[in-house]
Amino acid sequence: MSQVIAVVLTLVAAFLFGLSSVLEQRSTKLVPDRGSFSPRLLADLARQRRWLAALGIQIAGNILQVAALHFGALALVQPLLVADLLFAVAIAATLGRRHHPPDWIMITGVVCAAAGIASFLVVGRPGGGKGVVGLGAALPLVASLAAVLAVCLTAARWGPRRLRPVWLAIACGADFGVTAFLLKITPDTLAQGFGDPLRQWPLYLLVVVGPLGFLLNQSAFQAGLLIAPVLAIITALDPLVSISIARVWLDESFASSPPDLAAEALSLAVMTGGIVALAHRAPQIARDEVPDSGDDRRRPEVPNTIF
């Protein structure tokens, strides 16, 4: 019964995340371009009513996510959140102002990204695990995340501009995966009290990692003209990172027979292929949709199509 509750809560959270992503992405087009990773972007967005509404919706989704993690395994909840990509595409189509013929490469990429991680979940059948992790997990976790963020932010800052959304999305997906892990274990540490601060390291780390991921998310939305490629990368990497962490530090189990492993590898390959197709196709569509604006600091609002 607890697994069913976890699934229902996760799907509702995924819908809220999809809705908030669309509203946030549209809001980032109404404020000045602040670069790859500038806190000033949040100050600009805080003056947008649409963005404030999206923030409230996202907080509601986060609450449901935490509740789902209480009832289900981390490796169950996070892959199901891939549904936010499908919800976001459907919502963007509903809110779009212009209608274009469907781009089948983009549609195929979205479907592959969602279906790949969803099938991985069905085949892998994750479950079990523990809820408390010692302080020894903190240092390698922080070091790994810091390394990924450093590489991605450097590439976003100095690499080709057209790839900036991809690098920011990768950084955001990795951060979100770590955040999900912390959301899973933090409630269990609260019951131990605050007498020993070292026991509360998940809470302290969450206070840093959570807002960092939120800023990366908004930066990725502003850098990318289309929502689907950015959200696909974030949505796919989030569960992959959380699944890896769950396996190493929470001892969550997965189906591991040879046929299951082969099916899991195929699922991840399909997901990866979908993301590659999105990342390759999106810049082409963006060039057709809006001419290069050079060094203009303020972008025009881009009408949202289904992507």
Q: Is the pLDDT of residue 26 over 50?
A: yes
Cα–Cα distance, 266 to 258 (Å, whole number): 12
Q: What is the largest CA-CA distance in the chain?
A: 61
Q: Is the pLDDT of residue 149 over 90?
A: yes
Cα 11 to its chain centre, rounded Å, is 15
Helix (H) or strand (E) holding 164, with range, is helix 164-190
Helix (H) or strand (E) holding 242, with range, is helix 227-249
Among residues 208, 188, 82, which one has the least CA distance to residue 145?
A: 208
Q: For the chain, which residues make up each domain, given as ranges? A: 2-289
pLDDT in tens, 246-286: 777 777 667 778 888 888 889 888 877 877 776 666 655 55
Core vs surface per residue 126-153: b (16+ CB within 10 A) or e: beebeeebeeebeeebeeebeebbeebb
| Phi then psi dihedrals of residue 37, to 5 deg | -160, 70
Cα–Cα distance, 194 to 53 (Å, whole number): 34
> What mean pLDDT do residues 17-25 have?
89
Q: What is the pTM of this model?
A: 0.75
